[in-house]
Amino acid sequence: MRYVSYLDSDQTPCWGVVTDSNDIVSSTQLGLVAPTLKKAIASGELASPNRLNLDSTPTLRLDEVQLQPVIPDFGAMYCTGLNYSDHARESGKEAPSAPRIFVRLQNSLVGHDQSIIAPTVSEHFDYEGELAVVIGRSGRHIPEEEALAHVFGYTCFMDGSVRDWQKITTTLGKNFEHSGALGPAIMPASHVPDVQALTLTTRLNGRVVQQANTRDMIFSVAQLISFVSTMITLQPGDIIATGTPDGVGQSRNPPLWLKIGDDISVTVDGLGTLANRIDA
Ligand SMILES: O=C(O)C/C(=C\C=C(/O)C(=O)O)C(=O)O
């Protein structure tokens, strides 16, 4: 089972659970009153996913709804630059001695199967496949040993990056409207035995362009949580993206830029596949 945020046929924001057969049991059917997935996570009522009553007859299929970025109203999304040494090397940079954190805005993201919008002012639009972490429990100055207890679950992230604007500032290059994607769903942390042993694969029009294992991160998920919480209190529903491995389009010869009509997907084994088309 996984959690999703979606719009129903009336464009009303909803959330619910996706069963293993890709049916959706809505929050109302689950008997939960929280209006958003973020509020449900914060309330603690999803802390024991195995206790949720999934007996209601599902009325919707996953492919019938418009999926949103898994927590569309997140308070903050912290992203990590250069967290795989092969990617730092291909970028011509040293492996960092501390996590390089930047942020993404809500409106820079879309959900699974929604159009990612290519910038009109740049042809240097690049893909980055990543693992993303959804925070479940708030905390400040979280010790590394306790960090994973603050995780609600995990999902996939496509950190679409406008490389020429990124040279002006990271904030600009990483925040074009609808330039990235988050989803399709949140896998509860209890269903992920070892987050540092997951294979991540990015495909462009079906061709594998990035493949790595999360064991090769420079800073582990626990270290990133601890580091960010040194700066600020992490809140339920906050997202931490863990950086991309090597194989990005910018570092290829010739460069491989995203174009309108391309299909881009990010698969993290055990979590699912986030797939999107590039649109105008
Ligand atoms: O941190 C950097 O110097 C590079 C960077 C972003 C890099 C990523 O998104 C990544 O490696 O996943 C930046 O714009 O500053």
Residue 156's nearest CA partner among 194, 187, 125 is: 187
- Give 31-89 pLDDT, tens digit per residue: 999 999 999 999 999 988 878 888 878 779 999 999 999 999 999 999 999 999 999 99
> Does ligand 1 come within 6 angstroms of the Cβ of 124?
no
Alpha helices, DSSP H, located in 68-153: 85-90
The rounded Å distance from CA 119 to ligand 1 centre is 19
CB distance 159 to ligand 1 below 6 Å? yes
Lookup: tokens for 64: 């019938």
Residue 195 per-residue DSSP state: T
Atom of ligand 1 nearest to the CA of 130: 12
For 176, half-sphere exposure in the C-beta direction (CA atoms, 13 angstrom radius) is 23
Distance from the Cα of residue 51 to its chain's centroid: 25
- 205 sits in the region (left: phi over 0; alpha: psi -120 to 50; else beta) called left
Q: What is the DSSP letter of 70?
A: S
Rounded Cα distance between 72 and 94, Å, is 34
Test site for ligand 1: of 100, 171, 202, 218, most ligand atoms within 8 A of the Cβ: 100
128 CB near ligand 1 (under 6 Å) = yes
Cα-to-centroid distance, 230 and ligand 1 (Å) = 20
Give the separation between CA 7 and CA 277, rounded to whole angstroms.
19
Q: What is the CA radius of gyration of the chain?
A: 18
Among residues 275, 267, 279, 280, the alpha carbon closest in space to that of 67 is found at: 275
In the block, which residue shows the tokens 């999926």?
67
Instruction: Dump pLDDT digits (tens) for 84-127.
Output: 999 999 999 999 999 999 999 999 999 999 999 999 999 999 99
Candidates 3.40.120.10, 3.40.50.1000, 3.40.1050.10, 3.90.850.10; correct CATH number of 77-279?
3.90.850.10
Per-residue model confidence as pLDDT tens digits over 130-177:
999 999 999 999 999 999 999 999 999 999 999 999 999 999 999 999
Q: Measuring CA to CA, which residue among 162, 126, 166, 96 is closest to residue 247? A: 126
Please name every residue paired with 145 in a beta bridge, in sequence order, or none if there are none: none
Cis peptide leading into residue 254 (ω within 30°) = yes
Q: Is the CB of 242 under 6 A from ligand 1?
A: no
Ligand 1 proximity of 69 Cβ (cutoff 6 Å):
no
- Predicted structure pTM score: 0.97
**CB of 170 sitting under 6 A from ligand 1:** yes
Q: Could you tell me how many residues make up the chain? A: 280
Phi-psi region of 70 (alpha: psi -120 to 50; beta: other; left: phi over 0): alpha
Domain ranges of the chain: 2-67, 77-279
